[in-house]
Structure 1
Amino acid sequence: MTMQQASTQIAARTAAIIAEHQGLEGPLLPILHGIQDEFGFVPQDALPVIADALNISNAEVHGVVTFYHDYRRAPAGRHVVKLCRAEACQSMGGDALAAKLQALLGIGFHETSADGAVTLEPVYCLGLCACAPSAMVDGEVIGRLDAERIEEIAAEIRA
């Protein structure tokens, strides 16, 4: 598929998603969620289509995509690890666990491994403060993390 064909396909699917949500009050966030659900990220080619349909600037759409951490601008890895960086988790050893996980995976926050296996993202509260430190792996929350469990998570992802 050529770049032109891919861009046309993104624009067509984006237009369909916009049509599904355009009647909502404040449709931008639901549209962006729909696009990310469809493609796994928000493609750059979708931004002008959204801007035109909602009569807002490309800069406004770009600003929303870049402001909210849950919107990706590139495809995520096969596994997504979200490590809580909020105060409760930090106070329970979260910084050391973050450093250990980054070393085990060979990537930093907001990065995807070269083989596409894993994306590591920081989050600021998963609501498990009483079970700190915590993470979310492929949508499953895990509390009371320790060095051993971090090693297990890294090994499972790499398997």
Structure 2
Amino acid sequence: MTTSGSDVTVESVVRRLVAGHRDQRGSLLPVLHAVQAELGHVPQEAIPVLAEELNLSRADVHGVVTFYHDFRREPAGRTTVRICRAEACQALGADRLVGYVREAGLALGETAADGSVTVEQVFCLGNCALGPAVEVDGRLHGRVDTARLGSILKEAVSS
């Protein structure tokens, strides 16, 4: 399989990224982060290559990819919205935001059918004093209510 229409294969990307961490003990997590940063997700075909390169079982690699919520197995939408579900944000209304997302027909951890937005839950964005917090494509927003989240989602769909 090639990535984004180029002659670069998932296998060649993974092998190159592993080579950059070859001397690092316990390199699976840093390599997985690097794969996702470059490819936008950790594709299924990367798992056997990672297992071979890092002398791990496929089950071990698959287990790590599926255990950590930060790793995507499918490409994210054009916009990624992350809603904080930690205690401080919960106390300040994060459940209302999650309910709003669900009412809008979006599921946490999934990408909208049109590929416009992926909505994820996280368990701390480090913005506790300004909860509920939402991160949009790496930009942090505080004191987000459903109206503001609606504007964010509307902008994501229209872009």
Please give the TM-score of this superposition, normalised by the length of structure 1: 0.91
Report the Cα offset of residue 14 of structure 1.
1.0
Report the Cα offset of residue 28 of structure 1.
0.7
Matches of 1:53 and 1:155 in 2, distance apart? 43
Residue 85 (1) aligns with residue 85 (2): yes
Deviation sequence 1:90-144 (CA, Å, 0-9, x none): 111111121113323x211011001100001000010111111011000001011
Match of 1:24 in 2: 24
More helix by share: 1
Match of 1:107 in 2: 106
Say whether the 8 Å CA contact 2:117–2:153 is kept in structure 1. Answer: no
Identity of aligned residues (%): 49
Q: Which runs of 4+ in 1 moved over 3 A?
A: none
User: Between Structure 1 and Structure 2, how many residues are aligned?
Assistant: 154
Matches of 1:101 and 1:38 in 2, distance apart? 28
Helix, strand or coil at the partner of 2:26? coil
Matches of 2:42 and 2:156 in 1, distance apart? 24
Please give the residue correspondences for 1:1-159 in structure 2 after superposition, counting only pairs within 5 Å.
9-104=9-104, 106-159=105-158
Q: CA RMSD in A?
A: 1.7
Matches of 1:32 and 1:132 in 2, distance apart? 30
Please give the TM-score of this superposition, normalised by the length of structure 2: 0.91
Matches of 2:55 and 2:70 in 1, distance apart? 24
Report the Cα offset of residue 25 of structure 1.
2.1
Say whether the 8 Å CA contact 2:81–2:136 is kept in structure 1. Answer: yes
Matches of 2:149 and 2:53 in 1, distance apart? 44
Deviation sequence 1:23-81 (CA, Å, 0-9, x none): 11211111111111121000111111111111111111011111111110000000000
Amino acid at match of 2:103: A
Matches of 1:91 and 1:35 in 2, distance apart? 35
Give the unaligned 5+ runs of structure 1: none
Give the unaligned 5+ runs of structure 2: none
Matches of 2:12 and 2:146 in 1, distance apart? 46
Amino acid at match of 1:115: D
